[in-house]
């Protein structure tokens, strides 16, 4: 496996994400960006993991060693890092987070001066520098060329104003009771603040981070907690963020979790009806239910599909000229306002849809029925390239002959293989998935 995964570098803090690896990666990143530097500043933010202190100091050391000045802004959502990097004219931005992973993992995500995630080509160049001892050693500055760092706390307001400006000016959240679960993560301050400033009655949970409870039985990974709170407080809607607040899960007024494909379908239809969906096109990934494509096609909206990863969604959006896309897992991109997935921004657009339609959450976000799907995330001890697994082609042909859609892929951030089957009969899918699981357990044990 290479240095970079689906979304930056991620692994267990102290094992893969170590002090030395983090510092060396920061140096390699600084070396890459140095020829393109305009302000000689790189922004660094993080989520609420205890290991963030360790990784942050290592990154600051690495960047200053190669001559960059560093701006540290503390715990902030990943999309805020992307926005502030561009807003403050920094040469690059770095977010320290393992997103939805448990507290003992950590990761490092990178943005260019426009707040966009790095392409694979740029990641490969940074990885090459990372492995080059001579370049690393010879690029360290001396004397007055060594960089410096400073911590600033007042940039949070920039992001809050930016996100609020995405909400229609004529609307208010007054009269709505909203539960927000901040996952004890990076959105625990900005999320509730934005909703309150727009007039909502806000019930906040998952907002007491202690360094170890990020994503722990809370947030987007555990929407059942939010669902209970929505029912208990008789709220109109519930919003759950993940650890770095770049994804969202929505719960309706009945405490039912809204499927991510249904949420995106409703939002795409809403934008199109307002004449705001550029080129009548929408981008999602190969993981999404085909019912989403069919629903939007009836409205004249064409759906395009990328490989998994929100940065791959963004790349395809740019290629076809779309301004809306996302993943069923909750990464949703409104490129008029953000360069990456943003859970808080998506929540506001969903609330605008509710208010303008006059519908409840359960009505607004169930615009079509999904085709039956079965998904399994199977832990593996090794990641054998799929094309090298004996018998897999035969298994795929058997599945396709039964008119069932399949998708098998390794996680880019965890030691898991993700298995998906989609067809017309749930019982048939369940039975077939048992055979598929048994096949991969044997092949990858």
Q: At what angle do helices 156-164 and 343-357 cross, to 10 degrees?
A: 30
3-state secondary structure of 12: strand
Of 267, 254, 183, the C-alpha closest to 222 is 183
What residue ranges in 4-80 does DSSP mark as E strands? 9-12, 41-46, 69-75
99 is known as an active-site residue: yes
3-state secondary structure of 67: coil
370: region left, alpha or beta (phi > 0 left; psi from -120 to 50 alpha): beta
According to DSSP, the residues that pair with 72 across neighbouring strands are: 44, 151
According to DSSP, the residues that pair with 71 across neighbouring strands are: 43, 150
According to DSSP, the residues that pair with 252 across neighbouring strands are: none
Eight-class DSSP state of 177: E
Neighbours of 256 (CB within 10 A): 18
How far apart, in whole angstroms, are the C-alpha atoms of residue 240 and residue 249?
5
The phi and psi torsions of 249 (rounded to 5 degrees) equal -125, 135
Q: Say which of 51, 99, 149, 281 is annotated catalytic.
A: 99
Residues 209 and 181: beta-carbon distance below 8 Å: no
Residues that are catalytic:
99
């Amino acid at each position: 496996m290479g240095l970079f995964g689906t979304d930056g570098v991620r692994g267990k803090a102290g094992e893969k994400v170590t002090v030395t690896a983090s510092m060396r990666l920061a140096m390699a990143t600084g070396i890459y960006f140095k020829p393109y530097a305009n302000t000689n500043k790189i922004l660094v933010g993080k989520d609420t993991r205890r290991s963030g202190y360790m990784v942050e100091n290592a990154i600051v050391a690495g960047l200053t060693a190669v001559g960059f000045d560093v701006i540290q802004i503390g715990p902030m959502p990943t999309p805020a890092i992307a926005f502030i990097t561009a807003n403050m004219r920094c040469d690059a931005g770095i977010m320290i987070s393992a997103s939805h992973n448990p507290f003992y993992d950590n990761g490092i995500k990178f943005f260019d001066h426009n707040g966009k995630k790095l392409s694979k080509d740029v990641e490969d160049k940074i990885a090459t520098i990372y492995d080059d001892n001579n370049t690393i050693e010879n690029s360290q500055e001396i004397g007055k060329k060594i960089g410096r760092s400073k911590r600033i706390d007042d940039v949070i307001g920039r992001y809050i104003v930016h996100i609020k400006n995405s909400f229609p000016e004529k609307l208010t959240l007054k009269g709505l009771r909203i539960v927000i679960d901040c996952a004890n993560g990076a959105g625990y301050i900005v999320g509730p603040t934005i909703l309150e400033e727009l007039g909502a009655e806000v019930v906040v949970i998952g907002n007491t981070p202690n360094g170890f409870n990020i994503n722990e039985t809370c947030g987007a990974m555990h929407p059942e907690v939010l669902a209970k709170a929505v029912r208990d407080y008789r709220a109109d809607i519930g919003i759950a963020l993940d650890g770095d607040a770049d994804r969202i899960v929505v719960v309706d007024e009945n405490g039912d979790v809204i499927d991510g494909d249904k949420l995106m379908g409703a939002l795409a239809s809403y934008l199109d009806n307002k004449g705001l969906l550029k080129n009548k096109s929408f981008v999602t990934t190969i993981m999404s239910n085909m019912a989403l494509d069919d629903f939007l096609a009836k409205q004249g909206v064409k759906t395009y599909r990328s490989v998994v990863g929100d940065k791959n969604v963004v790349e395809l959006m740019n290629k076809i000229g779309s301004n809306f896309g996302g993943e069923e897992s909750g990464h949703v991109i409104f490129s008029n306002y953000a360069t990456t997935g943003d859970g808080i921004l998506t929540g506001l657009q969903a609330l605008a849809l509710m208010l303008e339609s006059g519908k409840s959450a359960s009505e607004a976000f169930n615009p079509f029925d999904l085709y039956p799907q079965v998904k399994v995330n199977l832990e593996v001890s090794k990641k054998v390239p799929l094309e090298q697994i004996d018998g897999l082609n035969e298994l795929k042909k058997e599945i396709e002959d039964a008119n069932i859609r399949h998708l098998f892929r390794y996680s880019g951030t965890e030691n898991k293989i993700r298995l998906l089957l989609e067809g017309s009969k749930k019982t048939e899918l369940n039975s077939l998935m048992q055979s598929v699981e048994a096949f991969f357990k044997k092949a990858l044990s």
